[in-house]
Amino acid sequence: MKNIAVIGTGISGLTAAYLLAKKHNVTVFEKSDRIGGHTATVDVQLKGQDYAIDTGFIVFNNRTYPNYLALLAELGIGKQETQMSFSVHNCQTGLEYNGHSLSSLFAQKRNIFRWQFWRLIADILRFNKLCKQAFSRNNFSDNFTLADFLAKHKFNQFFAQHYILPMGAAIWSCSLDEMAGFQFQFFVRFFHHHGLLNIKDRPQWYVIPNGSRSYLAPLTQSFAEHIQTNANIVFITRENDKVQLHFDNSAMQEFDEVVIACHSDQALALLKDASDDEKRVLSAMPYSANSVVLHTDTALLPKRKKAWASWNYQLSADRTKPASVTYNMNILQGMKSDDTFCVTLNQADDIETDKILARFTYHHPMFSVNSMKAQQQRKTICGHRQTHFAGAYWYSGFHEDGVRSAVDVAARFNCYLKQFAKACPDKTKETVPDANQNNQVKQAETSHAS
């Protein structure tokens, strides 16, 4: 039995702690005054009614979240069906549409008479077909980008600007230009596995009833007394086959192993004695800040209510600005209210001040050709010097990826989700294969984009 420190209480850290606590002594450290990371449900009272509204992690599906679904099942947490739809509104031209149904597609009636719009529909179908063919061949170089693919097949700017770039930017919370620079292999794997290249046969999406925070209490029950919030770790050292955590009050705590489950840039900043490999790999996977506002200003949604979708993207002339997306939480969480609750990224200045309910800043991993290459170097730093790195940045950046990264780490200590435990041989830490090769992860890889 080992004494293991886990740093960070997002989904990666809490899942790692939950799994490791089955066989080891775990102490969890969180810099802020609350646990959960992007699992952030806000209590709102408006006009005498109480609402629990998610502002970070919101949705998951039945196809590409195998580890997260196994975790929920083990915790006894249910799920509620939701609708995933996407709209685009161009602030310059006024064009808008919602791709959910034929009716919402032509919510703006004059689109019926726009030849560009009909070509957009044709190009969407052509793009989906070509991407499926590309996925089956899987013969693109690491440096081949989404922009390269669009140019190779002569897709015009109208299609790129009004469909694929905003959709991708909304998913990964990046700018249109950053989306164009995504590694194509990474992009097409994700879209294929998530059914985004299909008109039909898409995954069923879910939310957690009463807000995503509902899973936090059962997840942390076994180690709740060993969570330290407001823990300001200044730096980490590794000496004499042990790990030392140094705090701002000059205190030091020593552990057999450490799981660093904060963002890649934060992890690197903590390592006072970072190796050259740790510096090279972690620095290649940066994060970006996104402002998030919970509000009731429907001016951030398309002008036509029929065009309102679960995710609503506002296009501007600036292709370098972070994604401007508004989530319609009434649709996503199935809330009944005379007010429409919105969660908007990177448009705080456009929201009426008296309609703002809360403000946040969330950080998301930035994906590029270089970060994709760094992901493949994970085995050069994970599990070395009593140090393990967990985080959604190792895969596609989402909640499933955070769970999966924690599953990878826990497998090194013979700790597994119950659903997969029988498939995993009982081996010592020294003989467990690299986490990406264990049976549990192989099962996930058959159904997940990463």
Domain ranges of the chain: 3-39+212-286+368-445, 85-201+287-365
Quote the CA–CA distance of 331 and 450 in Å, as a whole number.
Answer: 28
pLDDT band of residue 397 (cuts 50, 70, 90) is very high
Q: Which CATH architecture has domain 3-39+212-286+368-445?
A: 3-Layer(bba) Sandwich (3.50)
Q: State in Å, rounded, how far the first CA of the chain is from the last one.
A: 32
The per-residue pLDDT for range 316-344, each reduced to its tens digit, is 888 888 889 999 999 999 999 999 999 99
pLDDT per residue as tens digits for the range 414-427:
999 998 876 665 54
What average pLDDT score do residues 36-62 get? 95
CB atoms within 10 A of CB 394: 24
Nearest to 201 by CA among 247, 134, 132: 132
Are the C-beta atoms of 316 and 385 separated by less than 8 Å? no
pLDDT for the residue 139: 79
- Identify the CATH number of the domain defined by range 85-201+287-365: 3.90.660
Place of tokens 């942390």: 220
Closest of 429, 396, 299 to residue 355, by C-alpha: 299
The predicted pLDDT at position 423 comes to 61
Q: Which two tokens stand for residue 8?
A: 């960070």
pLDDT digits (tens, 9 = 90+) for 363-380: 999 998 899 999 999 999
pLDDT in tens, 165-201: 999 999 999 999 999 999 999 999 999 999 999 888 8
Q: Show the tokens assigned to 70.
A: 């196994």
Place of tokens 């997002």: 10
pLDDT digits (tens, 9 = 90+) for 92-121: 899 999 988 888 999 999 999 999 999 999
